[in-house]
Amino acid sequence: MNFHGDDVRPSPPEKALFHVIAAPMEQSVSYGVGAARGPAAIISASRQLELLTDYGVPADHGIYTAAVDCQGDTAAALARIEEAVAYTCGLGKIPALLGGEHTVTLGAIRALKKFHSHFGVIHFDAHADLRDRYEGSPSSHACVMRRVHELGVPLFQIATRAYSLEEQKYRQENTTSLAFVDARDLSGQANLVLPAFIPEEIYISFDVDAFDTAVMPATGTPVPGGLSWWRAMDLLEQIMANRHCIGLDVVELAPIAGLHFADFTAAQLVYNLMALTAQSGTADQLTLSRGSDWHNRAATFDDLNQ
């Protein structure tokens, strides 16, 4: 199935600004299950979306839809995700990754680092995901942002409200490249101030449990006290007003039979993120940045994978 369905003719990968990449990975979920069904549910629900959003018509920029085989062990699945995202980046396009568990983000970030020398991650989530290991695994969904940060990527976390003592300590020890605004603190804060260390180029990783459970009950580890729909949109608008989004993911949807509004909410979030990205001028920025060095890196990646 193609994202947005029959009313949007699929674009070839070299023409589409947005590459929707389904990554139904579910290796380490630790409470509710079903994240592997999330990408298909989002794509199915996207068939009910209107073309127009509050931020324009992202479909006008072209949408290409692909899928990654996430069977096998974690390392193999992440390698295939990395390859898919690198293909998108090599074309100068914007990956929109659909999880699956949050671990999929690591594959995307590894790929982006081959093409972008300096970018930050804006991370929407109920959880900090900064554990070194969880249930014995360093590749758990509860560790993904620790692994991302260890790659040298600055990190700003939004709407967090459930984290361990270990994660709190890691935050305290890494204040020059890691900052956060917890959900409780957002309630009285009108304007979002991004840390100075977050570069102009950003990747947005949105775990759907960043939403309040009333907005998004269909997720593996729901936590009360999260974002409303319009508060999330307001925050994304503020971010995109001053940054260029080079990639995004929406993860951890665990569909519930008969509760299709949650699937639709996730699909609308993906589509709105595309619209905000296009509105921010990211496409023009990518075109300007695709000089000889970009092409050399793309060629090197192609050589390695032949």
Residue 287 has a pLDDT of 62
Indicate the burial class of 221 (C-beta count within 10 angstroms; 0-12, 13-18, 19 or more).
Answer: middle
Residue 266 lies in a domain: yes
Residue 99 lies in a domain: yes
Q: Are 180 and 189 in contact (CB under 8 A)?
A: no
Find the mean pLDDT for residues 25-41.
91
Asked whether residue 167 carries a pLDDT value surpassing 60, the answer given is yes
Asked whether residue 291 carries a pLDDT value surpassing 50, the answer given is no
Phi-psi domain of 54 (left: phi exceeds 0; alpha: psi -120 through 50; beta: other)? alpha
Summarize pLDDT for 201-234 with one digit per residue, the tens.
999 999 999 999 999 999 999 999 999 999 999 9
Indicate the burial class of 156 (C-beta count within 10 angstroms; 0-12, 13-18, 19 or more).
Answer: buried
Residue 81 lies in a domain: yes
**% residues pLDDT > 70 (the chain):** 92
Residue 297 lies in a domain: no
Quote the Cα angle for 178-182-184, to 5°. 165
Residue 270 has a pLDDT of 98
pLDDT band at 273 (very low <50, low <70, confident <90, very high): very high
Residue 108 lies in a domain: yes
Which of 255, 258, 260 shows the shortest CA–CA distance to 36? 255
Question: What CATH number did the domain enclosing 249 receive?
Answer: 3.40.800.10
Q: Are 138 and 132 in contact (CB under 8 A)?
A: yes
Summarize pLDDT for 117-155 with one digit per residue, the tens.
999 999 999 999 999 999 999 999 999 999 999 999 999
Residue 27 tokens, joined? 């290796």
pLDDT band at 187 (very low <50, low <70, confident <90, very high): confident
Residue located via tokens 């040298």: 152
Residue 243 lies in a domain: yes
pLDDT band at 283 (very low <50, low <70, confident <90, very high): low
Counting the structural domains of the chain, the total is: 1
Residue 289 has a pLDDT of 59
- CA–CA gap between residue 283 and residue 219 (Å, rounded): 32
The phi, psi pair for 97, rounded to 5°, reads -85, 135
**Among 56-60, 154-158, 268-272, 293-297, whose mean pLDDT is lowest?**
293-297
Residue 20 lies in a domain: yes
Asked whether residue 186 carries a pLDDT value surpassing 60, the answer given is yes
pLDDT band at 45 (very low <50, low <70, confident <90, very high): very high
Q: What's the DSSP call for residue 35?
A: G
Asked whether residue 32 carries a pLDDT value surpassing 70, the answer given is yes
pLDDT band at 265 (very low <50, low <70, confident <90, very high): very high
Residue 30 has a pLDDT of 74
Residue 300 has a pLDDT of 42
- CA–CA gap between residue 108 and residue 238 (Å, rounded): 24
Find the mean pLDDT for residues 98-105.
97
Asked whether residue 305 carries a pLDDT value surpassing 50, the answer given is no
Asked whether residue 296 carries a pLDDT value surpassing 60, the answer given is no
Residue 28 has a pLDDT of 81
**Which residue range(s) make up the domain with 14?**
5-292
N-to-C CA span, the chain: 28
Residue 300 lies in a domain: no
pLDDT band at 235 (very low <50, low <70, confident <90, very high): very high
CA distances from 92 to 109, 112, 303 (A): 15, 11, 18
Angle between helix 282-289 and helix 260-279 axes, rounded to 10 deg: 60
Asked whether residue 294 carries a pLDDT value surpassing 60, the answer given is no
Q: Give alpha helix (H) positions in the chain.
A: 38-46, 74-90, 104-112, 144-150, 165-173, 183-186, 229-240, 260-279, 282-289, 292-304
